[in-house]
Amino acid sequence: MLNSPADWPASRTHEDSLGSVDNLQIYQDMFSNAPVAMAISASDGQLLHVNTALCELLGYTRDEIIADKVVITHPDDVDANRTLRESLEKSVAPSLSVEKRYIHKSGRTIYGLLKLAAVRNRHGEVVRLIAQIIDLSERHKLETRIRDLAYTDSTTGLPNRLAVFGHLSEVLEHIVKHQNPAFMYLDLNRFKVINDTFGHQTGDLLLAEIGARLRQIVPDNIYLGRIGGDEFGAVIDASIDVDIRALASSIRQAMRTPAYVNKLELPVDLSIGVAVYPKGGLTADELVTNADIAMYHAKRHHIDFQFYTDSINEYSERLFIQESKLRQAISQRDFYLDFEHAHHVRDRSLGFREGLLRWRQDGEIVAPDHFVPIAESTGLIRKLDSITLHLASREQHDSDIQTTAFNLSRLSLLDSSIVDEIASHLYASGANPGHLIVEVTETVAVSDPDQINRTLRSIKELGLRIALDDFGTGYTSFSMLQQLPLDLLKLDKSLIQGIGKRTVEEHIIRATIRIGHELGLSVVAEGVETQAQLKWLIDHECDFVQGWYVVAGRGLD
């Protein structure tokens, strides 16, 4: 490589060390054939010699590199060469190093470690630079892969929680006056039910589908990521001109189409909350927390999306306190069953009694409409159902022959373990399953008919009877009545209130009683409040009546 001794600085010391032309040839061969990329340059960086390994690393010939007609240093790292040379000239260290990028002839980037050593003359002046370049490209790929794993959600391919929070923090660090970045919190509704019912694989595929839809809708300049199990987040930089309301509306609209996963048609719905700097929070944690609060407000009130406000925070705090009290009440079992009786129309005898769960708090009774929605939104409804099941089984056993009805929520009926739980309570209490009735509302029955049907059939195999509650409020077809394993059909009180007032309700009631009897079902009228309603129901052969007029003891004598 060193074509002549003149390639080295004029120095007696160096000439003596080389000794002979043969030695020069040996050093030349060692340089040319070294397994690591090397180069010799003038003190100003002008390349004089390069070895074979460097040519192979960069994809160029020696002549192409030496002629300085090609760019081998990445444009962003040009200054690194000059800085390293200047540092080495001032340093007493024999060599210095820096990581930098090079450009291969094909255009791809090569990551390398440049080690630079100086050859000085007798005056200590740098006359030659010897460079060694170690290829770090494979290490860089590995580091990039590790970084991707650390900051990327493997299920959706989106940035993960750590990456989203980091980006939000960076946006807030560079904020200027009058800028208002925002954070959008998106939560997939009913995901836990889908995950528990159909398995984690189906759940992951659904999340991947949701992530793909969001990528299509959310603009590229908005930083989108998955921040939790069924939660996504979007960082909206203040410099981005976007109508947040329109974006939220577009997202909701795109989610109305069911997702098809593993041959299943799965409903998709998102709740969205938004917090805007500075009123929605001054830090990343505050913005995310408040966007989460706004999202839950939207979920509870069944609205498309919600901006965070102080009033929402106050409401959430009250709700949190009530939820905490509810959790405490569940652990202490501060509940009891209040019974409403249903009587046979023909012989006026007691048919069954419906157990309605009541919460006794600080000596007062909390109405179900105050705590059931909280229980449903937090998943505590499942624990309330367990308490109801325990109380109903015990009450039936203690009352010996009285039939007791109780309601189970959608969440429990979608949980396959509910069947084993009922069997366990039957065994522990000694209750007669033939004197227990499970009531399921019409809305619940149609929400996931296949799964609900399977669960109800398994419950009926234990010996319990099944009642369809609130019939007339949902979308149950008469054909569905044949599919469900029913024993009783309970007419909703909204239909009963139409007796004597609107012929439409009367026609529906008559048809339902007739079809119910043809299917072998007993028909129960709920919410009977007047003698006229009771008489009409008796005349049209309704089987049971239930309501205030009956509780008052009127009309059945």
pLDDT at 549: 67
Burial 378-417 (b: 16+ CB within 10 A, else e): eebbbbbbbbbbbbbbbbbbeeeeebbbbbbbbbbbbbee
Please check whether residues 237 and 329 belong to one and the same domain: no
pLDDT at 18: 44
- Could you say which of 308, 329, 344 is where a domain stops? 308
Domain span holding position 99: 5-141
Is the CB of residue 510 less than 8 Å from the CB of residue 525?
A: no
Question: How does pLDDT run across 494-524, given as a tens digit for each residue?
Answer: 899 889 888 888 998 999 999 999 999 999 9
Same domain membership, residue 300 and residue 356: no
Q: Do 521 and 397 share a structural domain?
A: yes
- Does residue 296 surpass a pLDDT of 50? yes
Structural domain total, the chain: 3
CATH of the domain at 243: 3.30.70.270
* CATH number of residue 370's parent domain: 3.20.20.450
Q: What tens digit of pLDDT does each residue of 100-136 get? A: 899 999 999 999 999 988 888 888 888 888 889 999 8
CB distance 126 to 120 below 8 Å: yes
Pick the residue with more confidence: 322 or 205? 205
Cβ atoms of 529 and 548 closer than 8 Å = yes
Q: What is the pLDDT of residue 182?
A: 93
Phi, psi for residue 132 in degrees, rounded to 5: -130, 130
| Mean pLDDT confidence for 483-497 | 91
329 and 458 inside one domain: yes
Distances (CA, A) of 513 to 420, 446, 452, 503: 34, 20, 24, 15
Task: Tell me the residue type at 7.
Answer: D
Instruction: Identify whether residues 21 and 117 lie together within a single domain.
Output: yes
pLDDT one-digit tens code per residue, 421-432: 999 999 999 999
Can you give the pTM of this predicted structure? 0.52
Tell me, yes or no, whether 15 and 74 share the same domain.
yes
Cα–Cα distances in Å, from 309 out to 131, 280, 315? 62, 7, 10
Longest dimension (CA), the chain: 132
Reported as type and span, the H/E element at residue 405 is: strand 404-407
Average pLDDT, the chain: 85
Are 510 and 404 found together in one domain? yes
293 pLDDT higher than 70: yes
pLDDT at 186 (0 to 100): 95
Highest mean pLDDT among 141-150, 188-197, 379-388: 379-388
Are residues 291 and 275 in contact, defined by beta-carbon separation less than 8 angstroms? yes
**Could you report the per-residue pLDDT of 42-93, keeping only the tens digit for each?**
888 888 899 999 999 999 988 888 887 778 888 888 888 788 888 887 876 7
Tokens matching residue 294: 């706004």
Within a domain: 17: yes
Q: Bigger pLDDT: 110 or 480?
A: 110
Alpha-carbon torsion angle 245, 247, 248, 254, nearest 10: 140
Identify whether residues 70 and 191 lie together within a single domain.
no
Overall average pLDDT of the 520-544 stretch: 92
- Bridge partners of 357, per DSSP, are 337
CA-to-CA distance for 209 and 13, rounded, in angstroms?
72
Buried b (16+ CB within 10 A) or exposed e, 83-121: ebbeebeeeeeeebeeebbbbeeeeeebbbebbbebbee
For residues 394 and 400, is the Cβ–Cβ distance under 8 A?
Answer: no
Give residue 267's pLDDT. Answer: 81
At a CB cut-off of 8 Å and minimum separation 6, what does 525 contact?
490, 491, 496, 509, 533, 537, 542, 544, 545, 546, 547
pLDDT at 19 over 70: no
Q: Which two tokens stand for residue 483?
A: 């599919």
Interval 149-163 mean pLDDT: 89
d(CA 224, CA 229): 15
- Domain for residue 510, yes or no? yes
Q: What per-residue confidence (pLDDT) applies to 475? A: 55
Mean pLDDT of 248-273: 87
Among all chains, which residue has been given the structure tokens 């690591």? Answer: 36
Query: Does one domain contain both 199 and 287?
Result: yes
d(Cα 491, Cα 468) in Å, to the nearest integer?
9
380 Rama sector, left if φ>0, alpha if ψ -120 to 50, beta otherwise: alpha
Residue 476 has a pLDDT of 58
Residue 336, pLDDT score: 92
- 380 part of a folded domain: yes
Structural domain contains residue 313: no
Q: In this structure, is residue 133 part of a structural domain?
A: yes
Calpha distance 507→385 (Å, rounded): 35
* Structure confidence at residue 195 (pLDDT): 78
Residue 314 lies in a domain: no
pLDDT digit string, tens, across residues 208-244: 999 999 999 999 889 999 998 899 999 998 777 788 8
Confidence (pLDDT) at 20: 60
Question: Which of 118, 141, 164 represents a domain boundary (last residue)?
Answer: 141
Integer CA distances (angstroms), 524 to 494, 521, 545, in order: 13, 10, 6
Could you tell me the pLDDT band of residue 557, with boundaries at 50, 70 and 90? very low
Last residue of some domain: 96, 121, 141? 141
- The verdict on residue 316 lying in a domain is no
Claim to verify: residue 345 and residue 385 sit in the same structural domain: yes
Q: What is the CATH number of the domain that holds 46?
A: 3.30.450.20
Q: How much of the chain, in percent, has pLDDT values that exceed 70?
A: 92
Asked if 201 and 114 sit in the same domain, the reply is no
The answer for 547, left when phi > 0, alpha when psi is -120 to 50, beta otherwise, is: left
Same domain, 354 and 301: no
How much of the chain exceeds pLDDT 90, in percent? 40
- Helix/strand/coil percent split, the chain, to 5: 45, 25, 30
Contact 435, 402 (CB under 8 A): yes
* 315 is a domain residue: no
